[in-house]
Structure 1
Amino acid sequence: MKLELYQIDAFTDELFRGNPACVVPLKEWLPDETLLKIAMENAVAETAFFIDLGSRIHLRWFTPEIEMDLCGHATLATAHCLISVLNYNRNEIIFETKSGDLKVTYRDGLYYLDFPSRMPSPSSLPDLISKSLNIQPKEVFKSRDYVLVYDNEDDIRNIKIDRQIFDQINLDPGGVIVTAKGDHSDFVSRYFTSQASILEDPVTGSAHCSLIPFWSDRLGKKDLFAMQLSERLGKLYCEDQGDRVIIAGKAKTYAAGHLWTE
């Protein structure tokens, strides 16, 4: 079977920045095993598969290892693919997903993702995570992901993970966020996933479902500008809306082509 394939850099307005995601339009769902094999072959953090249902889009996300319950950058990439590449005739898209209906609005060059809020709660840090870090956090919280809070942006930039230790813990489907107040943004972060082919995710939209309410509360403001300090760097324009968060960003198309499943 011949399928279309698009690779898009999300949360950036520059090629080779942000987080790359592959987007594959489908007419009908293929077996999950095939979807996972395609994601493994694509070898990026996430591959999004979607079916256009007319009034809404059925969307699923796969890493090279598992199906995810929520993914921000691949949702943004799918919206960009639909609107900027496939000429989808609506500026508002409703995605039907494992995390419920997600709305994406395109306006003035930005894609606005309407996602659930996941305020993290105080937590203790598992010993294996602590031992894997070269710098220990000042505070520990948890929602889907562990949220480790540090003193400053330099700490976030200088964090190193001992992968041999880190991969001994199973956080499926979550990961570890390290975060601090930013020097040139409201807050900064990085994101790590144990037992994954890609240890550090370049830009993690879903992590901001926890980071936005956390920093909104701590900084006393609703509108926030965030930077994810991976090597590729990501920029996110955020808004806390109570039980929902708005995560906005740009995207660039890197490649378009085809794949064959047999």
Structure 2
Amino acid sequence: MSRLFGVDAFTDRPFAGNPAAVCVLEAPADPAWMQALAREMNLSETAFLWPEGDAWRLRWFTPKVEVDLCGHATLASAHVLWRHLERPEPRLAFETRSGRLYATRAGARIGLDFPAPEAVAAPLPEAIAAALGRVRPVWSGRAEDDWIVVLESAAAVRALAPDPGLLARAPARGVVVTARDESGAYDVVSRFFAPAVGVPEDPVTGSAHARMARYWAAALGRDRLRAYQASARGGTLELELRGDRVLLWGRAVTVWSGRVEAGPG
């Protein structure tokens, strides 16, 4: 039987942040079984972990597809390894479809070392503009397979009500809608929509923040940022840009744990 944990990531209290399921395996499992379990969990991401050399193999599945990069389920995985498997390493290494990633800890905080690709300015595709309700971006561009849409205010980000059906047909994994936070409580506010991969709106998205980190660092003139994802659950991240990498700092809380009776074997 495989161990299974429910973890709320990018929060310091239960029932907030972004929930992920983390399944700890002894060896690789059939991808069809992993996808079926992710569909059963019906969370934005289910992570699967097993030991591989000096690292841990880590794969992420939405209820619909396997994805190349996921921040909150990586944070949840590191939390499980340190909190529940009592791993002694001060730094954890993960082998993933996006290369080797690292997690470090400082007290209750966990830092994820992620790639920070440059967002390239580009006109917003018509399909995305229509799905977002004809917003007028201050700036738009693409970073890897996500579009970034910068609006004039945090209030405009919070008020957005996109059409998920239209957005699912857009040429992207997902769309980050973001703005500077005028209140001063945070530096930036964002929301993330990815219906194309089975996630209409993600509660808190580490990978999206990695992809907009360089834009906001340049726009605000500093490499350390405090961010809030304004979903219904909400979540906070601290960003520390280091060249073409970014440390995403957050906390995590275990909500439930158990075992999978219908194993992969």
Same fold (TM over 0.5): yes
Contact residue 22 and residue 48 of structure 2 kept, 8 A: yes
TM-score scaled by length of structure 1 = 0.95
Counterpart of 1:250?
A: 251
Q: Which amino acid aligns with 2:65?
A: I
TM-score scaled by length of structure 2 = 0.94
Q: What is the correspondence of 1:3-152 to structure 2 with a 5 Å cutoff?
A: 3-53=2-52, 55-134=54-133, 135-144=135-144, 145-152=146-153
Give SS of 2:74's match. Answer: helix
How far, CA to CA, are the matches of 1:23 and 1:211 in structure 2? 26
Give SS of 1:93's match. Answer: strand
- Using the TM superposition, name which of 135-144 and 218-227 deviates more: 135-144
Contact residue 91 and residue 107 of structure 1 kept, 8 A: no
How far, CA to CA, are the matches of 1:66 and 1:196 in structure 2? 6
How far, CA to CA, are the matches of 2:223 and 2:197 in structure 1? 33
Query: What does the per-residue CA deviation read over 1:177-234, in whole Å, with 9 as the maximum and x for residues that have no partner?
Result: 0000012211111000133433000000001112211110111001110111001111
Give SS of 1:195's match. Answer: helix
Contact residue 13 and residue 253 of structure 2 kept, 8 A: yes
Q: Which amino acid aligns with 2:114?
A: F
How far, CA to CA, are the matches of 1:139 and 1:215 in structure 2? 11
The alpha-carbon deviation at position 167 of structure 1 amounts to: 2.4
Contact residue 75 and residue 252 of structure 2 kept, 8 A: yes
Query: What does the per-residue CA deviation read over 1:124-179, in whole Å, with 9 as the maximum and x for residues that have no partner?
Result: 211111111133322211012100001111011001111232223352xx200000
Contact residue 169 and residue 194 of structure 1 kept, 8 A: no
Question: Alignment RMSD, CA only?
Answer: 1.3
The alpha-carbon deviation at position 87 of structure 1 amounts to: 0.7
Counterpart of 1:167?
A: 168
Unaligned runs of 5+ in 1: none
Q: How many residues align?
A: 259
How far, CA to CA, are the matches of 1:204 and 1:47 in structure 2? 14
- Using the TM superposition, name which of 220-229 and 191-200 deviates more: 191-200
Give SS of 2:4's match. Answer: strand
- Name segments (4+ residues, structure 1) moved above 6 Å: none
Query: What does the per-residue CA deviation read over 1:235-258, in whole Å, with 9 as the maximum and x for residues that have no partner?
Result: 001111011101000000000011
The alpha-carbon deviation at position 54 of structure 1 amounts to: 5.6
Identity level (%): 38
The alpha-carbon deviation at position 31 of structure 1 amounts to: 1.1
